[in-house]
């Protein structure tokens, strides 16, 4: 096995036993990126020099016994909407093409504290608005399983990099499925934590009441290790939870006997691609065979979830993206006529079409005369949806279902149909609307040998149960062991 194929847990052991050095491992990853990334387009920025410098420093600290985190010396990469001091953070937008943050995001600080080696910044949909990474201003990322397919999005660069061994793990962000859906499309594990578990400070805001940072990695155990490092209260983010979080690796228990699992009827309806549905139903069988109680349930309010999500998310987005006016940072137009022209043209030239569409929609639902009918109505619907999920979790430990209605589709196939694209978020957005934690783990392949993801959803702050269910499934199946052929290149 080559170095990039190992998990965090395995590499930690190799590093501890001095069977591999951090600089050696980092060099291997950087070489791989320079060899393969022109094919896949995962990275927007590769920080080769800084990474090597950092690798030497981390190795030294490990040798001195000053660092013993399982993440110490592990080369990783970060979605390009998470601020990194001195490293461009573009949000895959022309608007932020010149933006070099003067500060680190809270999660980045935490990872540095744990000895992470940052390889670079990963491609994504512009401002995380999309689910195929096609709206990036810079490049299109290809799916490592089939380069004619999208990697999903918006954390498409993160998922593809992990799946292709261009990073051992990655950070992504999930506003309406942006970690889980690309994880599902690329056959890796993606965890979206409970809203408030991980600080958003330094995550460029798309929709503030939904955004959450989370890990993408090869295994559930790796995700638990990363979550341990990044979770916890941050006084800079008043929406971050103050509760003490447990050691998530303690939840890596291969046993789900007696666990109650709900499968919403609405998650396995006709709108789901047949082999995806079959894989999910098969997963239910696996759980049953391991001693869990699986039951079909119904969450009728599901049909209102997507409009609720989009109304609130786009309203927030329209406001969050108002700061890009060319004055303080970001793209500035040339030769403006006056202040209005400066602002209008900087914004119009700096943002791509999907971002503009979403800003317009968000502005519309907040504008005078429409606020009550759309925005306020959606807030109320959100309260109702949350109540429904609370009720489900009174009876069930977790919910399972597909992550997306389909597997990875062809590049260009859906880009011109925004409504269709929005509707395909149906299985991921309920989690964000209710602030729940959820994970995507490999559970099969479709007829074109593309990976299928299983989504497991737990109650707020019940990551331990989520991790335990996912870990048990993983330990008792082989889907996660399959790798795209590019892994061998």
Partner 1 sequence: MAITKEVITYIAMLARLQLNEEEESSMVSDINRIISYFDKLKELDTSNIDAMEFLSMDEDAFEKALRDDVVDKSYDREELLHPEEEKGSEYFTVPRVVE
Partner 2 sequence: MEYEAVIGLEVHAELSTKSKLFCSCTTEFGGRPNTHCCPVCLGMPGTLPALNRKAIEYTIKAGLATNCTISRFTKQDRKNYFYPDLPKGYQISQYDLPLCKNGYVEIETENGKKKIRINRIHLEEDAGKLVHSEYGHNSYVDYNRTGVPLIEVVSEPDISSAAEAKAYLEKLKAILQFIGVSDCKMEEGSLRADVNISIRPKGSKELGERTEMKNLNSFRAIYRAIEAEVARQIEVVRSGGTIQRETRRWDDAKGKSYPMRSKEDAQDYRYFPEPDLPPLIIKEELIQRLKNELPELPDARKQRYMTEYGLPEYDAGVLTSSKELSDFFEEAAKASNNVKAISNWVMGDMLRILNERNLEVSQVPFPPAYLAKLVALLDKGVINGPTAKKVFEEMFDSGKDPEAIVKEQGLEVLNDESLLLQVVEKVIQENPNSVADYKKGKKKAIGFLVGQAMKATKGKANPQLLNELLVKKLEE
178 belongs to the catalytic site: yes
Q: Is 175 in the site for partner 1 (CB under 8 A)?
A: no
Tell me if 223 sits within 8 A of 162, measured CB to CB: no
Restricted to residues 46-105, the positions that interact with partner 2 (CB under 8 A) are 81-83, 89, 91, 96, 99, 101-103, 105
Q: What is the β-pairing status of strands 438-445 and 213-217?
A: unpaired
| DSSP per residue, 61-94 | HHHTTS---TTTT-EEEEETTB-BTTB---TT-G
Restricted to residues 378-407, the positions that interact with partner 2 (CB under 8 A) are 379
Query: How far, in whole angstroms, is CA 432 from its chain's centroid?
Result: 12
Q: Is 242 in the site for partner 2 (CB under 8 A)?
A: no
Among the options 21, 79, 240, 414, which is catalytic?
A: 79
Burial 398-430 (b: 16+ CB within 10 A, else e): bbbbbbbbbbbbebebbbeeeeebbebbbbbbb
Using the rule CB under 8 A, give the single segment among 26-34, 336-344, 395-403, 419-427 that binds partner 2: 336-344
Q: What is the β-pairing status of strands 451-458 and 398-402?
A: antiparallel
Distance CA 377, CA 143 (A): 38
Q: Which of 227, 170, 182, 184 is nearest to 4 (CA)?
A: 170
Residue 301's binding partner among partner 2, partner 1, none (Cβ under 5 to 8 angstroms by kind) is: partner 1
Per DSSP, what are the bridge partners of residue 301?
none
What are the phi and psi torsion angles at 414 (to 5°)? -120, 0
Burial of 446 (0-12, 13-18, 19+ CB in 10 A): middle
Q: Is 360 in the site for partner 2 (CB under 8 A)?
A: no
38 belongs to the catalytic site: no
Burial 175-193 (b: 16+ CB within 10 A, else e): bbbbbbbbbbbbbbbbbbb
Q: Is 174 in the site for partner 2 (CB under 8 A)?
A: no
Q: Is 88 in the site for partner 1 (CB under 8 A)?
A: no
Q: Is 209 in the site for partner 2 (CB under 8 A)?
A: yes
User: Looking at beta carbons only, is 139 or 200 nearer to partner 2?
Assistant: 200
Restricted to residues 97-126, the positions that interact with partner 2 (CB under 8 A) are 99, 101-103, 105
Q: Is 109 in the site for partner 1 (CB under 8 A)?
A: no
136 belongs to the catalytic site: no
User: Looking at beta carbons only, is 375 or 389 nearer to partner 2?
Assistant: 375
Among the options 135, 136, 173, 178, which is catalytic?
A: 178
Distance CA 144, CA 159 (A): 9
Restricted to residues 220-279, the positions that interact with partner 1 (CB under 8 A) are 235, 238, 242
Using the rule CB under 8 A, give the single segment among 1-9, 222-230, 324-332, 455-463 that binds partner 2: 324-332
Restricted to residues 349-388, the positions that interact with partner 1 (CB under 8 A) are 351, 353, 356-357, 359-361, 363-365, 367, 373-374, 376-384, 386
Tell me if 196 sits within 8 A of 435, measured CB to CB: yes
| Binding residues vs partner 2 (CB under 8 A) | 81-83, 89, 91, 96, 99, 101-103, 105, 200-205, 207-209, 235-239, 315-316, 318-319, 321-325, 327-329, 339-340, 343, 363, 366-368, 371, 375, 379
Active site residues: 79, 154, 178
């Amino acid at each position: 096995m080559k170095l990039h194929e190992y998990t965090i847990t395995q590499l930690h052991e190799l590093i501890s036993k001095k069977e591999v050095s951090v600089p050696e491992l980092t060099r291997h990853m950087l070489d791989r990126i320079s060899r393969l990334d022109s094919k896949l387009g995962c990275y927007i920025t590769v920080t080769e020099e800084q990474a090597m410098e950092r690798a030497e420093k981390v190795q030294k600290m490990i040798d001195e016994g000053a660092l013993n985190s399982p993440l110490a010396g592990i080369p990783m990469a970060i979605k390009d909407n998470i601020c990194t001091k001195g490293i461009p953070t573009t949000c895959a937008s022309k608007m932020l093409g010149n933006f070099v943050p003067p500060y680190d995001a809270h999660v980045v600080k935490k990872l540095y504290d744990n000895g992470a080696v940052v390889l670079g910044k990963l491609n994504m949909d512009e401002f995380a608005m999309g689910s195929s990474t096609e709206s990036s201003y810079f490049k299109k990322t290809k799916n490592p399983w089939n380069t004619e397919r999208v990697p999903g999005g918006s954390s498409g660069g993160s998922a593809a990099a992990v799946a292709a061994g261009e990073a051992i793990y990655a950070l992504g962000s999930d506003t309406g499925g942006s970690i889980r859906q690309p994880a599902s499309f690329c056959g890796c594990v993606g965890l979206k934590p409970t809203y408030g578990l991980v600080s958003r400070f330094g995550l460029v805001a798309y929709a503030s009441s939904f955004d959450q940072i989370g890990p993408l990695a090869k295994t559930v155990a790796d995700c638990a290790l990363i979550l341990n490092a990044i979770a916890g209260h941050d006084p800079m983010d008043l929406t971050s939870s103050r509760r003490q979080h447990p050691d998530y690796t303690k939840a890596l228990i291969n046993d789900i006997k007696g666990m109650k699992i709900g499968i919403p009827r609405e998650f396995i309806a006709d709108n789901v691609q047949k082999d995806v549905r079959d894989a999910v139903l098969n997963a239910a069988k696996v759980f049953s065979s391991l001693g869990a109680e699986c039951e079909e349930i119904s969450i009728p309010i599901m049909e209102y979830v997507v409009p609720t999500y989009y109304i609130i998310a786009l309203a927030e987005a329209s406001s969050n993206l108002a700061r890009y006016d060319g004055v303080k940072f970001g793209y500035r137009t040339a030769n403006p006529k006056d202040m209005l022209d400066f602002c209008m043209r900087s914004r119009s030239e700096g943002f791509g079409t999907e971002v503009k569409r979403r800003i317009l929609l968000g502005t519309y639902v907040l504008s005078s005369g429409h606020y009550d009918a759309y925005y306020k109505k959606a807030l109320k619907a959100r309260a109702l949806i949350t109540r429904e999920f609370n009720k489900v979790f009174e009876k069930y430990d977790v919910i399972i279902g597909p992550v997306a209605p389909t597997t990875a589709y062809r590049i260009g196939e859906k880009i011109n149909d925004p409504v269709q694209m929005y509707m395909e978020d149906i299985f991921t957005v309920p989690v964000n609307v209710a602030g729940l934690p959820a994970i995507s783990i490999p559970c099969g392949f479709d007829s074109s040998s593309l990976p299928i993801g299983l989504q497991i959803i737990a109650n707020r702050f019940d990551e331990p149960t989520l991790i335990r269910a996912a870990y048990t499934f993983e330990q008792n199946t082989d889907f996660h062991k399959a790798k795209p052929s590019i892994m061998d290149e």
